[in-house]
Amino acid sequence: MPVSTPATQTLDLLTIPYRVFEHLHPPVSLEQAARERGQTPGQIIRSILFRYEKENFFLTLVAGPGQISWRKLRADLGLSRLSMATGAEVLAVTGYPVGTVSPLGLLRPIRILADVSIFKPGEISLGSGVRGVAIIMKSADLQQALGNIETGQFC
Answer yes or no: is 143 within a domain: yes
Q: 73-107 in b/e burial notation, b at 16+ Cβ within 10 A?
A: beeebeeeebeebeeebbbebbbbebebbbbbbbe
Answer yes or no: is 108 within a domain: yes
- 88-134 residue pLDDT tens: 999 999 999 999 999 999 999 999 999 999 999 999 999 999 999 99
Specify the higher pLDDT residue, 136 or 153. Answer: 136
Answer yes or no: is 1 within a domain: no
Residue 54 — very low, low, confident or very high, per pLDDT cuts 50/70/90?
confident
CB 82 within 8 A of CB 62: no
Give the domain range for residue 120: 6-152
Answer yes or no: is 38 within a domain: yes
Residue 135, SS3?
strand
Answer yes or no: is 135 within a domain: yes
- 6-48 residue pLDDT tens: 999 999 999 999 999 999 999 999 999 999 999 999 999 999 9
Total structural domains within the chain? 1
For residue 69, give Cα distances in angstroms to 29, 73, 76, 85, 144.
21, 6, 11, 16, 26
- Report the predicted TM-score, pTM, of the whole model to 2 decimal places: 0.92
CB 114 within 8 A of CB 146: yes
Answer yes or no: is 14 within a domain: yes
